[in-house]
Structure 1
Amino acid sequence: MDIIIGALLGVCLTQALADDLVNENNEGNNGGNSHQNVNVSNQDHTADINSYNGWKVWDAVWDYSKELFATRLFNKRAYIVAKMNKDAFPSLEKLSKFKDQKPAKSMPPPPFLRFSITKTRIRNVAQFGRSINILCKGVPTYYAQQDQGGALLFEFQGCADSGILGLLGIYLCGNISGC
């Protein structure tokens, strides 16, 4: 119960302290229905993303100052931490401007990145900085590495989608031991 209250409090505080709030609705996409909030803090150089999609709910923090992101996969009861690819991730400025853009119906699908989750559990999440430590403390946390080249051609079955709708697809793939 304490975890649920803490998560709700964190979401409320994050939204109250955010510089920009992006709401993205995706209804009717292949029968799916999801809603995302993206809170950008220019002061902290972070973006907090909340995706509400039934059993596939997830939260993430993108820490631009540490060049890391962490995603909590609620159905796996775990966090995944990975290095941000500066060339592929949208900047904080682009995230802030994204809220004012209306997606065109003929837009091509967003670019995507695929990450493989390691099986080794991270014991010290404090090494990743304040934002990620606050988010991941006390929750099983694993590291993921971006797949390169040919690995991107594989199917995404068994992967969790944790990207920003219409802007960037992020797929976290692999079995997490103990979950």
Structure 2
Amino acid sequence: MRTLIFAVTFLGLLTDIVSASNAIQLINKGNDGSTVYQTVNINHHTNVAAFNIYSGPHSSNAIVDYNSGMIAYHMPYKRICVVSRMNRNNFPNISQLDQMTHQGQSIHSISRSYGISRQLVSNMGTLGAPIQAICSGLTTYWATEYARPPPLVGGRACARVNLLILNVNLCGGISLF
């Protein structure tokens, strides 16, 4: 029953995002030659941007919730979510993000690096409904944004997530990846 409620809530959120948003779609080739389908949905009504990569088993998503100031990176193939507070001083506002996607800004023109802590998110309710919906039921870690990837010492590794105009490095303990 809980799974059904989650699915209905998540689908409702996605339907709301898609129906009232500006959507950009891109189909290209992945590093292994496979087809990668990417979308960005920007909803000015809810102040949420959703990035999606559909690439088979390595599909991933990101939600940028401007209302709560939170960003979530969802990696279902690893059954984890990574959340961070948005640095509003250097992250484009929703109108700038919309403009960048529609003007054909170069792919991966926004770069972010995060150090993932081993600290689990204990109260998903404080993150806002969009983040809660995408991360519900998954192990969710806190992350801190860095100007560049943190140094790789002591068994740390980085995973690169390329979400259309957003290029993300998620760095943490090797057990996360």
Q: Which TM-score tier does this pair reach, normalised by the shorter chain? A: 0.7 to 0.9
Q: In structure 2, what residue type is equivalent to 1:42? A: H
C-alpha separation between the residues in 2 aligned to 1:34 and 1:143?
A: 28
Give ranges in structure 1 of 5+ residues lacking alignment: none
Give ranges in structure 2 of 5+ residues lacking alignment: none
Higher strand content, 1 or 2: 2
Among 57, 61, 67, the alignment partner of 2:69 is 67
Matched residue, 2:36: 34
Instruction: Tell me how far 1:45 sits from its aligned partner.
Output: 0.7
1:18-97 matches, within 5 Å, as 18-27=20-29, 31=33, 33-97=35-99
Instruction: Tell me how far 1:125 sits from its aligned partner.
Output: 0.7
Residue correspondences, number: 173
**Secondary structure at the residue paired with 1:44?**
coil
Deviations 1:13-61 (A, max 9, x none): 1454332111123336684642211111111111111111233211121
Matched residue, 2:120: 121
Residues 6 and 133 of structure 2 are in contact (CA less than 8 Å); yes or no, is this contact kept in structure 1?
A: no
**Secondary structure at the residue paired with 2:163?**
coil
**Secondary structure at the residue paired with 1:65?**
coil
C-alpha separation between the residues in 1 aligned to 2:145 and 2:173?
A: 15
Identity of aligned residues (%): 27
C-alpha separation between the residues in 2 aligned to 1:142 and 1:6?
A: 24
Q: In structure 1, what residue type is equivalent to 2:24? A: V
Provide the alpha-carbon RMSD of the alignment: 3.4
C-alpha separation between the residues in 2 aligned to 1:178 and 1:151?
A: 16
